[in-house]
Chains A and B, each alone.
Chain A
């Protein structure tokens, strides 16, 4: 398939993620939207990696094709760690204010 399709899909996913973070107030959904954005980036990385693998430049630099894919694994690991921390925060938040609405989290304001 053409690279443009992947880019379009990735951008769509990313935008959905951003809009979700911006407009939703539920912390869990915001969190999921953040994950969506991460995965949009992952998708793009993999797509470009595949595209480069077909190019003649790879012959000169063999690791060129696999760099991005390694990166993706790295991101997935970090994302997993992030999930554990983030969910913990959300749980704590729920315990404290009995809600996961981020708009209630404005105690620093005053």
Chain B
């Protein structure tokens, strides 16, 4: 039975091999070969993950230890360990599955790149898959952290893929640094764990013995710091601004990293540590408030954006906020559920937008699109399915996961629920605004562009179709009891992730579902009415302008963090370093110099002067000898 577990290490190693081959062979491998290797290794990992998943489903979980990473006798032992259980095997499937589709899509999308850039792209993408797999498979927090920083690095490399453009590399840098701020929080949490209980192994940390060693202050501190890490990686307030900028990268990258996988790492981490977080009520409260605030803020910004990828990016931030709301309300299974469904429909929409951008020759402004449905039916239909899913129309995957989150929020208070519901309505509104402006009406771009409009090749549409199907059926693994299901996902995850109990009567749940569905439909209708005859908008005023400028958060950070830091650095450099310390050091030198210059008149070079001095000296000696 355990044969598959013996080759589990191949799951991350295969993409690493792909990375090495593509990286080293970038100058002589043809595009076909690199594409084949790049996608093939991920397919291999996917097949293995599927086998592993089968085993786990049959009830076999496994902890694997390979070698010691850091080993200090009796003080600290951190091994290279993998943990294959329900949670990680589920994430393995998402990562390798969606990852494979996106690799296939990329072979077509990136085909116009030069051979070695194409190889570089696939190498980075494979490296990303490797890091992400390490992140979820790790059997302790350190391995998770290694993957955690690794995905940050790949994100940096891929955002800055078109490195000649300084704006893009700026975005890459911003992403990395903001992630790093979060990472430091995560690191501090690890130090705290090591200092208090001397281990970062999941099983040991979550054991009753070590949890009892932690005071409630410790637990709150550790979980808060972990959450800081999650805000960086999963783009929550206050560290979310990198994600919209990260859209500078190629679109498949946005789909894979900035929608489906990497940004959900924070959710994975908190779900993995649910034993800790369930004990930290203050942290949970903070998480739910921040999640909700992020969801609302990002959704409000998305309404007024005109860049197709930016809208999706803000939508991602908003959906991640929903997931954090679920985590904060103790509804871990719902968060994981939403990660799953969101991975499907958001990857779908990103890939769809990639297809659109491809057809438009690189144009991303939806004001210049319109009526694309005629030209690209598959893209349009699949995108529509994605919109329905994210809006939460019953029957599509998003409905089940979002409903579960809303129910959890209701359980925690009506205020939470109403804000979350409002955000959900905004979501439906801006997604359909996007759809209507882009795919319906008349084409508003140039003639050249219209001439070139075409459906994308099969390598791009096939992943779209697969993801569209998954976006529909993906929700059926978590049909709640109230709708006559068994919530198989919750049952499957129950050994690892335990949500808090909810105490809602069936009638209340029916009511909530009905209410949200009704309002969402109204919201969609409202979007239809508003944007059906979209031409172009004038200058926005008031709130609209604030939204268009993203609440001026970037400007605020610039003024509050970046500029003062720069000023301090300049102050250190120009004043303290040059004038202060170096000035002092040089001052000692100058004083010596000055002193000797003053002494120099004694050495006049006149023999007479020397003799006079000698005589004076002698007289002085006499006087001292005789009278003192």
Contact = CB atoms under 8 A, between A and B. Distances in A.
Given a CB threshold of 8 Å, the question of whether A touches B is answered with: yes
Interface of A: 18, 21-23, 25, 30, 102-103, 105-109
A109 B605 contact: yes
Nearest to B607: A102
A42 B78 CA distance: 94
B607 A105 contact: yes
Contacts of B606: 102-103, 106
B536 interface: no
A45 to B, nearest CB: 18
B604 interface: yes
27 contacts: A18-B615, A21-B608, A21-B611, A22-B608, A22-B611, A22-B612, A22-B615, A23-B608, A25-B608, A30-B607, A102-B606, A102-B607, A102-B608, A103-B606, A103-B607, A103-B608, A105-B605, A105-B607, A106-B604, A106-B605, A106-B606, A107-B605, A108-B603, A108-B605, A109-B603, A109-B604, A109-B605
Contacts of A18: 615
Contacts of B604: 106, 109
Nearest to A108: B605
Contacts of B608: 21-23, 25, 102-103
B602 to A, nearest CB: 11
Contacts of B611: 21-22
Interface of B: 603-608, 611-612, 615
Contacts of A103: 606-608
Main secondary structure of the interface of B (DSSP, over half): helix
Contacts of B603: 108-109
A10 B48 CA distance: 118
Contacts of A21: 608, 611
A105 to B, nearest CB: 6
Given A102-B606, A106-B606, 15 more contacts: A21-B608, A21-B611, A22-B608, A23-B608, A25-B608, A30-B607, A102-B607, A102-B608, A103-B606, A103-B608, A105-B607, A108-B603, A108-B605, A109-B604, A109-B605
A109 B609 CA distance: 12
Contacts of A23: 608
B626 to A, nearest CB: 15
B307 to A, nearest CB: 74
Nearest to A21: B611
Nearest to A24: B608
A107 B607 CA distance: 11
A95 to B, nearest CB: 18
A17 to B, nearest CB: 11
A32 B615 CA distance: 17
Contacts of B607: 30, 102-103, 105
A4 B238 CA distance: 103
B529 to A, nearest CB: 96
Contacts of A109: 603-605
